[in-house]
Amino acid sequence: MSGLFDSILNWRLLPGSHAFPGPDGGTCINEAAVVAAGLPYRAIRSSADCPPCFSVPLAAYALGLNDAMPDDERPRLMAFLLRLAGSADDPAIEEARTTHLVLQGVRRLLPPVLERAGLAQHAAACRSAGELDRAVTVARHAAWSAGSLAEAAGRNGTWVRGARAAAAARAALFAAEIDARTAADAAEAAALFWPGAWAEAVTILDEAACLGRQAPALAPEEAGRRLEAAKTQRRAPAHTPA
């Protein structure tokens, strides 16, 4: 599809919060989703700044990825431009989304970086974790072992091994927290030694977004008009009395 749909694809996602979109877009994914939905524009520094119709865990995870991803990876998030506004659901669904983000992070993001650190047994335990409590437990054990390995590598001067183990420890510590934003931090830590973590994290976000209420259907053409209008808008300069 071409025409106005191109304006969605060409919107530029940037890390951090932005007071107003620039001529090429220039916002985070949640700010872009606000514009596309026709809601009053707002700068978003955390999921708490999102409109109440945004799912908190989905918005928090998306924002974490948005701020951490390299520029060439961040466009993967454009698939969620039309899926965040209207995604808020009842507490049970939001809890299920958080559980999915955390559990699948342990099962799918941690093992590759643990294996690269030489912790195959911990990687296997993470892959086999079938429920949240077990996942948190094995992630904590992996964090402890990886941290110990990083310390030993530092003493021995094996710096590459130590860096891999430190990244694994950091990823496991984040993954062990039952929190959507911290689950995104785990993806960032894993990506230091496993670039495939970004694509996997976006897939996990997509799966969580498929749970519960879906955002109302929004025609790409209408979203495109709103995005194009936002690009051309400028805040009126403040009037200075003579």
Model confidence band, residue 173 (pLDDT cutoffs 50, 70, 90): very high
Model confidence band, residue 240 (pLDDT cutoffs 50, 70, 90): very low
- Report phi then psi at 213, rounded to 5: -65, 135
With beta carbons less than 8 A apart as the criterion, state whether 154 and 162 touch: yes
- Note the pTM of the prediction, 2 decimals: 0.88
Sign of CA dihedral 12, 46, 55, 86: negative
Amino acid code (one letter) for 80: F
Lowest mean pLDDT among 84-98, 103-117, 199-213, 220-234: 220-234
- Does 43 score more than 90 pLDDT? no
- Does 119 score more than 90 pLDDT? yes
Query: For the segment 178-188, what is each residue's pLDDT rounded down to a tens digit?
Result: 999 999 999 99
Model confidence band, residue 103 (pLDDT cutoffs 50, 70, 90): very high
Round the average pLDDT of the chain to a whole number and report it. 87
Query: For the segment 182-235, what is each residue's pLDDT rounded down to a tens digit?
Result: 999 999 999 998 989 999 999 999 999 999 999 887 777 777 778 777 777 754
CA distance 24 to 135: 41
pLDDT value of position 10: 62
Query: Which residue did the predictor score with more confidence, 53 or 162?
Result: 53
- Does 242 score more than 50 pLDDT? no
